[in-house]
Amino acid sequence: MTDRVYLTTPLYYVNAEPHLGHTYTTVVVDTLARYHRSCGRDVFFMTGTDEHGDKIAAAAHASDTTPRTYADRISAIFRSTWDTCGITYDHFIRTTDDYHVALVQEILERVHAAGDIYFGDYGGNYCVGCERFYAERELVDGKCPDHETETEWIKEENYFFKMSSYQDRLIGHLEKHPDMIRPAGYKNEVLGLLREPLEDLCISRPKSRLAWGIELPFDENYVTYVWFDALINYLSGLYHLKGEQGPDYWAGAQHFIAKDILKPHAVFWPTMLMAAGYPVYHHLNVHGYWNMGESKMSKSLGNVIRPLEMKERFGLDSFRYFLLREMAFGMDSSFTEDAFIARFNADLSNGLGNLASRVLAMQKKYFAGRVQSAEGLTEALDAELEAAFVTAETEMKEHMDNLAIHVALEAVWKALNACDKYIVETAPFKLWKEESQRPRVGAILHVLCDALRHTARLIDPFMPETAERLRNMLSVHPEPLSLAAPAWGGVFVPGHQLADPESLFPRLDVGD
């Protein structure tokens, strides 16, 4: 892995407000950004909004306003939602930003001058929801496979990008870089698509039909097709912010998307990059879909989950934990409130929360919250617990690098289970009854405080607020993951005063 990492979310359309699906991708990228930073890497994390095209023009029209006013309003909602959710993006890009418009026009000019854009006639089945034409064979019962709505037959003169002439180069690139698209199932899907002849891509819309877009630099009667515009954000935002360092970050570029927008990212985008003379990005990371129980999440079904409501009701970190722990990256998952509450109670309330409160309560009760010396009082079990944390850290890092985020969390929870086992086996509450054993009780609690200190380090990228609360209770400073291995001892000098324990995750009842 290079030291520079560039992580992106899709640019969300401003025709709807942020929901669970947008939040998942954004939380995943935020977690990885925090993880890589903690490992000492230089991260650039970008998110933003996609604001041109039919869909936005139609949504603005429906709410009786101009596309610009409408986009300003919804884009601000996305931004403030991510701010309220503590998302650590480095730049929030809007496709209406000047520097973005300038680069889209520059690339169009270049590709046009190189002869890869031509003018022609086209008729096709168009889905407004997807903003794209579908070939007859891609339709299901004559309808868009994603939106399950009738497509519209549109025939008009337009500009086309010669995507077909890049088909072989793209196949060659995918074969040479077998982990470019992850997980592998999605790479295979793309290779499957590429077994059929690739069509050229219609990249314009006549202004007579749609005026809300970036004007083509070589024909003022047309605007740019929204995908040819939006994908370029990944370069325009980066170069705008990082200037000459742009290529270094670009070499470590990783896009995160759900499977709905696989083709534009895996086919349109790399061929556009090839035509414009840029290297192809490093990774495309594709996750599955969140469904609501058995059904699709949709505004019309009224089953949309809003991140701010979840934050209000259950706290931010438990929502982050659920999203990251429940979905195997790449597979679909289902959200139900019962599943949320079950996981909250099992892993957070009974697991982490209970462990922290037991350790801190014993420390308070037996030693007035002062950590005791462990010197000369350690036993084999202590070393086993330390080893469990070393293993957890190694496994966690390995899984994070492979995007098995839910398994990375599982690895950390194995160490928490080892703490529970350690408490049962060392039985400090029993030892306390024998006066002569009390120094050993002090040593056991010292080891457990060290374990909680490392827990805070390990969970920080996933649950930053909880990590901070834990550190505050332990009265310690943040420690990054770049530290070689857990160093035990040393931090808690005898007499180190802990703060009062607080309940991290009070148990939830159904109906809370």
Catalytic residue set: 19, 22, 127, 130, 144, 147, 296, 299
Choice between 42 and 260, CB closer to ligand ME8: 260
Judged by beta carbon, residue 10 or residue 486, the one nearer ligand ME8 is: 10
Instruction: Tell me the residue ranges of DSSP E strands in 219-303.
Output: 219-224, 253-258, 283-287, 290-292
Contact region for ligand ME8 (CB under 6 A) — 71-79, 212-220, 254-262, 305-313?
Answer: 254-262
Q: What angle do CA 301, 264, 253 make, to 5 degrees?
A: 110
Q: Applying CB under 6 A, does 78 fall inside the site for ligand ME8? A: no
Please confirm whether the linkage preceding 183 is cis (ω < 30° from 0).
yes
Paired residues of 152 in beta bridges: 126
CB 479 within 8 A of CB 504: no
For ligand ME8, give the closer residue by CB, 228 or 367: 228
Q: Which one of 5, 7, 24, 463 is in contact with ligand ME8 (CB under 6 A)? A: 24
Outline where 281-379 has alpha helix (H).
307-314, 316-326, 337-343, 354-367
**Residue whose C-alpha is closest to residue 33's, from 86, 75, 97:** 86
Tokens 């992106």 locate to 8
In 10 A of CB 403, how many CB atoms?
Answer: 22
Quick one: 187 or 454, whose CB is closer to ligand ME8? 187
Q: Under rule CB under 6 A, which residues in 255-314 are in contact with ligand ME8?
A: 257-258, 260-261, 289-290, 297
Sequence-distant (≥ 6) Cβ neighbours of residue 383 within 8 angstroms: none
Least distance in angstroms from the C-beta of 374 to ligand ME8: 47
- Judged by beta carbon, residue 28 or residue 39, the one nearer ligand ME8 is 28
Identify the CA nearest to 87 among candidates 350, 392, 311, 348.
Answer: 311
- Give the binding range for ligand ME8 (CB under 6 A) out of 21-29, 167-175, 462-470, 474-482: 21-29
Q: How far is the CB of 481 from ligand ME8 (least distance, A)?
A: 26
- The CA distance from 481 to 502, in Å, is 25
For residue 508, the SS3 value is coil
* Binding positions for ligand ME8, 185-244, rule CB under 6 A: 230-231, 233
Residue 12's alpha-carbon distances to 75, 137, 194, in angstroms, are 9, 28, 27
Q: What is the CA radius of gyration of the chain?
A: 26
Q: Give the x/- contact pattern for ligand ME8 in 414-443, rule: CB under 6 A.
A: ------------------------------
| Shorter beta-carbon distance to ligand ME8: residue 269 or 314 | 269
Q: Which residue is nearest to ligand ME8 (CB)?
A: 21
Q: How far is the CB of 409 from ligand ME8 (least distance, A)?
A: 18
Residue 207's CB: how many other CB atoms inside 10 A? 16
Closest distance between ligand ME8 and the C-beta of residue 186, in Å?
12
21 binds ligand ME8 (CB under 6 A): yes
Query: Does residue 48 touch ligand ME8 according to CB under 6 A?
Result: no
In the bound complex, what is the minimum distance in angstroms from residue 24's beta carbon to ligand ME8? 5
What CA–CA distance (Å, rounded) separates 158 from 299?
A: 33
Stretch that binds ligand ME8, among 37-45, 207-215, 253-261, 429-437 (CB under 6 A): 253-261
Residue where the block lists tokens 């650590």: 88
* In contact, 337 and 413? CB cutoff 8 Å: no
CB of 180 to ligand ME8, least distance (A): 17
Identify the H or E element spanning 26.
helix 20-38
Near ligand ME8 by CB under 6 A, which window of 6-14, 72-80, 108-116, 120-128?
6-14
d(CA 121, CA 160): 9
Report DSSP state, residue 298: -
Among 5, 6, 7, 25, binds ligand ME8 (CB under 6 A): 25
Tokens of 35: 């993880």
Q: In the bound complex, what is the minimum distance in angstroms from residue 224's beta carbon to ligand ME8? A: 13
Q: Candidates 4, 5, 6, 10: give the one binding ligand ME8 (CB under 6 A).
A: 10
Of 50, 116, 347, 395, the residue at the interface with ligand ME8 (CB under 6 A) is: 50
Dihedral pair phi/psi, residue 132, rounded to 5°: -155, 160
Stretch that binds ligand ME8, among 252-260, 401-409, 450-458, 486-494 (CB under 6 A): 252-260
Least distance in angstroms from the C-beta of 53 to ligand ME8: 8
Site residues for ligand ME8 per CB under 6 A: 10-13, 21-22, 24-25, 50, 230-231, 233, 257-258, 260-261, 289-290, 297
